């Protein structure tokens, strides 16, 4: 048995070199920000949530009385977009004096006047607007007119636009037949405009068909609010629905985003990914509801902005199958009390830095698991967003902009990638009442024109650089 003195000597001989070797192995990533090269301006209503129409049928869910959810929205900003639609929208009826009923896509959801009144009050309390999906799958244009009139009356100035049909490219009667869909769309739009001349429309709410979006934009760009498209990494039952797969770059969809960006620019139009989350079918338990989803969400939102997208609607709450999805950033219990899951913290991080102008960054090393973004604010401050999805710690060395003196570091952290609890942003968690406030940031000095900070593996940092 080693004596205490020999034990200490043993540790000194072997652990110190090992520690030095570990420190030397930590790569230094050099970053530059070009504030003069603006990629895009991020809209103030970029952040959004998406819901199945059945969510609106739940009593006092969308309501000015739901103080917790109003606070959860408020943490993300005073502007945003709520999208009500999904598969259930094509199995929904509006019955003004009927009994509201939240059902799955295999049944009929009933929305009544109280449902819409409460939604309008909620939208006004949050300041967010609403995109509303009308029933093209099992309804009629006459029913759509009645519903549109009621929605317009209840929402007033909070109504952003209507959509006619959900994921029309997957509907059996329209698959590979855009012309048939477009003819029905025009019939619905004409009937609604006859009663609501100023009604605004978005679409085509495509699940996966880029040609449907392209044809719709060509036909409707002069008379539409937004071009819309959906995204899920894959289905929840896919064997590849893992944390590693979620965090890996989806190059195929990046190519699609580039095509959408060009399409929208060519037709002087904005586009939005108005239904999106990790894995369709309610998400993957142990993946979609873990800290990994927060890192994915933060990166995905900035990646959309970098592709000129005008916003995102992150799917949440009750799904078309009737249960609260694993991917939901906001959930509620049987008593309707709302709380935040890990993905919500990624949204909080975006809400802090996702304003102003997105500007060009450059990196001296190629790293498939490190993503860097930067925004420039009206007050001259700059945010650097660094997301480390690697299994190694890195050191970030930033060539700071001229005039920068110091910086504040806010971190997005969790106990592990698969952690479902213990996630924080800016050293703070969401309180039981839905409120959140950033904790005291780490201070960082700019020395000789450089800002250096550590970025541990599987974490992200939002760094505010102060002039």
72 burial (CB, 10 Å; 0-12 / 13-18 / 19+) is: buried
pLDDT of residue 365: 74
Provide the 3-class DSSP secondary structure of residue 41: strand
pLDDT tens-digit map of 356-372: 999 999 998 766 689 99
**165: enclosing H helix or E strand:** none
Is 348 in the same domain as 364?
A: no
Provide the 3-class DSSP secondary structure of residue 278: strand
35 burial (CB, 10 Å; 0-12 / 13-18 / 19+) is: middle
CA 425 to CA 345: how far, in whole Å? 6
Mean pLDDT throughout 308-323?
Answer: 96
CA 73 to CA 238: how far, in whole Å? 32
pLDDT of residue 176: 86
**304: enclosing H helix or E strand:** helix 291-306
Rg (CA), the chain: 24
Helix 141-155 with 178-195: angle, nearest 10 deg: 50
Is 268 in the same domain as 377?
A: no
Q: Which of 286, 410, 273, 282 is nearest to 345 (CA)?
A: 410
Is 188 in the same domain as 298?
A: yes
281: left (phi over 0), alpha (psi -120 to 50) or beta: left
Is 269 in the same domain as 327?
A: yes
β-pair partners for 81: 48, 129
Contact 86, 274 (CB under 8 A): no
Is 299 in the same domain as 217?
A: yes
For residue 434, what are the domain limits?
25-40+357-466
**Which of the listed residues 353, 371, 400 is the one where a domain comes to its end?**
353
Is 343 in the same domain as 429?
A: no
Mean pLDDT throughout 18-37?
Answer: 74
Given 3-state DSSP classes, what are the helix, strand and coil percentages for the chain, each rounded to the nearest 5?
A: 35, 30, 35
Is 300 in the same domain as 173?
A: yes
Instruction: Judge whether 1 lies within some domain.
Output: no
Mean pLDDT score across all residues of the chain: 93
Instruction: Judge whether 252 lies within some domain.
Output: yes
Helix 210-220 with 251-266: angle, nearest 10 deg: 10
Residue 207 has a CB neighbour count (10 Å cut-off) of 19
**Which of the listed residues 334, 353, 372 is the one where a domain comes to its end?**
353
| Chain centroid offset of residue 86 CA | 16
In this structure, what is the dihedral angle of CA atoms 252, 311, 262, 204, given to the nearest 10 degrees? 80
pTM for the model: 0.93
Q: Which of 167, 101, 154 is nearest to 123 (CA)?
A: 154
Residues written for the chain: 467
CA 318 to CA 328: how far, in whole Å? 9
pLDDT tens-digit map of 166-204: 999 999 999 889 999 999 999 999 999 999 999 999 999
Instruction: Judge whether 2 lies within some domain.
Output: no
**Pairing of β 312-315 and β 330-332:** unpaired
pLDDT of residue 383: 96
Q: Which CATH number covers residue 366?
A: 2.60.40.1180
pLDDT of residue 399: 87
Q: Which of 105, 170, 178, 162 is nearest to 138 (CA)?
A: 105
Is 256 in the same domain as 389?
A: no
Is 332 in the same domain as 372?
A: no
pLDDT at 317 over 60: yes
Residue 102 has a CB neighbour count (10 Å cut-off) of 22
**Pairing of β 129-134 and β 159-164:** parallel
Is 210 in the same domain as 129?
A: yes
Q: Higher-confidence residue: 424 or 25?
A: 424
pLDDT tens-digit map of 206-256: 999 999 999 999 999 999 999 999 999 999 999 999 999 999 999 999 999
Strands (E) located in 135-210? 159-164, 201-206
Is 326 in the same domain as 446?
A: no
Please, which pLDDT band fits residue 309 given cuts at 50, 70 and 90? Answer: very high
Please, which pLDDT band fits residue 439 given cuts at 50, 70 and 90? Answer: very high
CA 39 to CA 359: how far, in whole Å? 5
Please, which pLDDT band fits residue 467 given cuts at 50, 70 and 90? Answer: confident
Is 336 in the same domain as 398?
A: no
Mean pLDDT throughout 32-38?
Answer: 94
**Which of the listed residues 292, 325, 353 is the one where a domain comes to its end?**
353
Domains contained in the chain, number: 2
pLDDT of residue 444: 83
Structure letter (DSSP) for residue 43 = P
CA 214 to CA 250: how far, in whole Å? 21
């Amino acid at each position: 048995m080693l004596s205490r003195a020999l034990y200490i000597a043993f540790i000194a001989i072997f652990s110190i070199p090992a520690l030095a070797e570990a420190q030397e192995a930590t790569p230094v990533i050099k970053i530059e920000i070009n504030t003069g090269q603006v990629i895009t301006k991020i809209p103030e209503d970029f952040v959004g949530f998406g819901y199945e129409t059945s969510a609106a049928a739940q009593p006092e869910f969308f309501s000015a009385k739901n103080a917790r959810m109003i606070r959860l929205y408020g943490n993300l900003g005073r502007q945003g977009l709520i999208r009500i639609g999904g598969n259930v929208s094509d199995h929904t009826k509006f019955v003004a004096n009927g009994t509201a009923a939240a059902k799955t896509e295999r049944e009929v959801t009933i929305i009544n006047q109280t449902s819409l009144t409460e939604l309008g009050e909620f939208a006004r309390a949050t300041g967010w607007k609403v995109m509303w999906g009308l029933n093209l799958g099992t309804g009629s244009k006459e029913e759509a007119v009645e519903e549109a009139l009621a929605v317009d009356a209840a929402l007033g100035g909070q109504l952003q636009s209507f959509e006619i049909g959900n994921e029309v490219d997957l509907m059996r009667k329209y698959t590979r037949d855009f012309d048939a869909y477009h003819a029905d769309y025009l019939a619905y739009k004409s009937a609604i405009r006859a009663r609501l001349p100023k009604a605004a429309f978005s679409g085509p709410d495509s699940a996966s068909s880029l040609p449907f979006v392209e044809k719709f934009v060509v036909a409707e760009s002069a008379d539409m609010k937004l071009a819309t498209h959906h995204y899920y990494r894959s289905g929840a039952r896919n064997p590849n629905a893992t944390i590693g797969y979620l965090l890996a770059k989806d190059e195929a969809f990046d190519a699609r985003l580039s095509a959408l960006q060009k399409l929208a620019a060519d037709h002087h139009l904005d586009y939005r990914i108005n239904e999106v989350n990790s894995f369709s079918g309610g998400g993957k338990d142990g993946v979609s509801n873990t800290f990994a989803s927060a890192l994915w969400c933060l990166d995905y939102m900035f990646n959309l902005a970098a592709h000129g997208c005008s916003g995102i609607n992150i799917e949440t709450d009750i799904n078309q199958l009737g249960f609260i999805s694993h991917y939901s950033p906001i959930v509620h219990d049987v008593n309707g009390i709302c709380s935040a899951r890990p993905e919500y913290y990624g949204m909080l991080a975006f809400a802090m830095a996702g304003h102003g102008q997105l500007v060009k960054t450059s990196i001296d090393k190629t790293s498939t698991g490190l993503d860097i973004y930067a925004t420039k604010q009206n007050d001259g401050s700059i945010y650097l967003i660094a997301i480390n999805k690697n299994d190694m710690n890195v050191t970030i060395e930033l060539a700071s902009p001229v005039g920068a003196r110091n910086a504040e570091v806010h971190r997005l952290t969790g106990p592990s990638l698969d952690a479902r609890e213990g996630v924080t942003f800016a050293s703070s968690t969401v309180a039981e009442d839905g409120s959140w406030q950033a904790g005291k940031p780490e201070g960082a000095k700019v020395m000789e024109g450089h800002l250096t900070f550590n970025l541990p593996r599987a974490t992200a940092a939002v760094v505010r650089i102060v002039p």
